[in-house]
Structure 1
């Protein structure tokens, strides 16, 4: 019984450590007064299709995670980028994106990877641009 409780706590902790993340990072250029914005979201999928957990892109989010909902899409990331630019009263330019799908599970904070061929996949989208 005690081992089941410890195992359950371990699995829940591992889920939260490896869960998806949504972030908006801003860096300002002191000389041109432009701001570079990077919007990132990633998540985990079952067989590359069924969303398990990802970062919650909702503007009024209750939790940082979204379970069984696909928020790792270019439409949702671009929408949050444009909303951020409007809120700042700026125009966006020089937008670039990077999409990544991986079938290796890497332990957070390390370089140890485990092959999980198409059972659990990792998807990440990054969208960056300059606000002026």
Structure 2
């Protein structure tokens, strides 16, 4: 019974410090077709979040691939998110992309606690999202084959 509570404690502690990366595409039937071309545009959304001490010491965040996470590394920044977009475009043989939108947030989780959250700012949540339209002539065939 003692080991059970120890494992439960470790699982709760890890769930509080880990982050995640997610990569989402629009469905093939909701993507607009390009007039006069064989390819399609699809929207891609890349989201990465993580947790930090004092807004600068990383505890855990998402990695550079879909569904991954890394402990004690700082991947929640524009450079790493653009690298993930570049890797996805290369993986999908994208011919072009456009309309890149970037959103970044940084929030102190304990900001509602007087003095602890606003003055000290101990525990922070950071997130970055990149959205883009990707064009490829092979995109529809490769994604539907999987």
Same fold (TM over 0.5): yes
- Runs of 4+ more than 6 Å apart: none
Aligned-partner Cα distance in 2 for 1:93–1:79 = 16
For residue 82 of structure 2, what is the aligned residue in structure 1?
78
Alignment RMSD (CA, Å) = 2.6
Q: CA deviation at 1:64?
A: 2.6
Normalising to structure 1: TM-score of the pair?
Answer: 0.78
Instruction: Tell whether the 8 Å contact from 2:103 to 2:128 is kept in structure 1 after alignment.
Output: yes
For residue 31 of structure 1, what is the aligned residue in structure 2?
32
Alignment: residue pair count = 120
Instruction: Tell whether the 8 Å contact from 1:43 to 1:52 is kept in structure 2 after alignment.
Output: yes
Q: CA deviation at 1:88?
A: 1.2
For residue 54 of structure 1, what is the aligned residue in structure 2?
61
SS for the counterpart of 1:70 is coil
For residue 14 of structure 1, what is the aligned residue in structure 2?
12
SS for the counterpart of 1:71 is coil
* Larger of the two Rg values belongs to structure: 2
| Structure with greater helix percent | 2
Change (3 A) 1:130 1:30: closer
Q: CA deviation at 1:56?
A: 1.5
Normalising to structure 2: TM-score of the pair?
Answer: 0.71
* Alignment match of 1:101 (pick from 100, 106, 130): 106
SS for the counterpart of 1:34 is strand
Deviates more, 1:17-26 or 1:46-55: 17-26
Gaps of 5+ in 2: 34-39, 136-146
| Structure with greater strand percent | 1
Gaps of 5+ in 1: 106-112
1:65 paired with 2:69, answer yes
